[in-house]
Amino acid sequence: MRTLKYAILGLVNRMPMTGYDITGEFNNNHLANFWYAKHSQVYPELGRLADEGLLTCQVVIQGEKMEKKLYTITEAGRQELKEWLLQEDPLGPTPKDVFRLRMYFSDFMSREEMKTHLKNQIKKHMDKRQYLLDIMEHNHQNHVPALGTKEYGDFLVLEGAILRESSYIEWLENAMKREEGCES
């Protein structure tokens, strides 16, 4: 399945965008907290979507000479996006996690090496959780946006990311307590 196809259709469904705008959404927006696409992936997909009649492209002049392509979703694109949104998918494979793989082989680490790894991971995940909490505070000021809005979808995904980080931290702290308990 070309999931990038639906991510792009969803973005362009919200408003017409250039390829540059779309790439920016993947790299600099809240979308980057759970989905990522490179510039080299976005532009070929835009071409395919236009060829399939799911997007239209209009060349507009920016400034005096610079041209940019502005993509707009077609009715067929909206219909395909809607069908995809309503699909039920099986649970996907567990995402790869290099740190968990290291923990799987932790029997090859000294107790001190293990503690160092755990401390470093706790710090990284606490920093990431704080970053997400700051975004939540800035964008939603501790209130749940109205159901059916773009802001509500953003809120849901951000809330899930915060809970994911909190759960990971709890797991790491439990492991750290066990390590400290083994020293006595």
What's the whole-number mean pLDDT along residues 59-74? 87
Q: And the tokens for 97?
A: 């996690």
Q: And the tokens for 67?
A: 């041209």
The DSSP result for 83-132, as a single string, is HHHT---PPPPPPP-HHHHHHHTGGGS-HHHHHHHHHHHHHHHHHHHHHH
Q: And the tokens for 149?
A: 């809005």
Instruction: Report the pLDDT value the prediction gives residue 179, as an integer from 0 to 100.
Output: 81
- The answer to whether 18 touches 70, Cβ cutoff 8 Å, is yes
Q: What is the pLDDT of residues 99-113, one digit of tens each?
A: 999 999 999 999 999
Instruction: Report the pLDDT value the prediction gives residue 127, as an integer from 0 to 100.
Output: 97
Please determine, for residue 82, whether its predicted confidence score (pLDDT) is greater than 90: yes
Instruction: Report the pLDDT value the prediction gives residue 60, as an integer from 0 to 100.
Output: 85
More confident residue, 19 or 61: 19
Instruction: Report the pLDDT value the prediction gives residue 91, as an integer from 0 to 100.
Output: 87
